[in-house]
Structure 1
Amino acid sequence: MSSAHKAKGREWALVRIDPDFAPRPDSDDIDASGCPIPGAIDEAEARLAYVAVTRARRHLDPSGLAWVSQHPDNPK
């Protein structure tokens, strides 16, 4: 197990992305379903997520980034 910060320049056969890349809410605002409204995607965090997903040689489990498809900034 490693952090994405320590993963730069390294590779593994299997990489699983944990959900800690999810942006934190900007405020206490909630959407119609009662879920916190996510904050903007930080560019540095996006670059770090890119580093993390490109470390896999054979298998990538990106489930920790599943929130991206539901984020308000996603152009769909």
Structure 2
Amino acid sequence: MDEFIVYILFSEKFNKNYTGYTSNLIERFKSHNSLETKGYTLKYRPWKVIHVEFFNSKSEAIKREKYLKTGIGREFIKKIIDNR
């Protein structure tokens, strides 16, 4: 059975966050911090994983990722960052 993970990354250096989903958090995290050669996350390295949620289906993970990118979801992320 596949497991999907919604994750939130935070760059303390730039005070930026990034939300995404994956089925392999370790490899995706490596990609964000060292392997990628283009894209948003490249500019704000280094990243820390500050929150993860697990889902049984890709569609559930995508739905949650989209929610976290709404205004209410961004408030949820802000609380996580503020309480670190």
TM-score normalized by the length of structure 1? 0.22
Higher relative contact order (CA 8 A, sep 6+): 1
Q: Normalising to structure 2: TM-score of the pair?
A: 0.21
Question: Which has more helix, going by share of residues?
Answer: 2
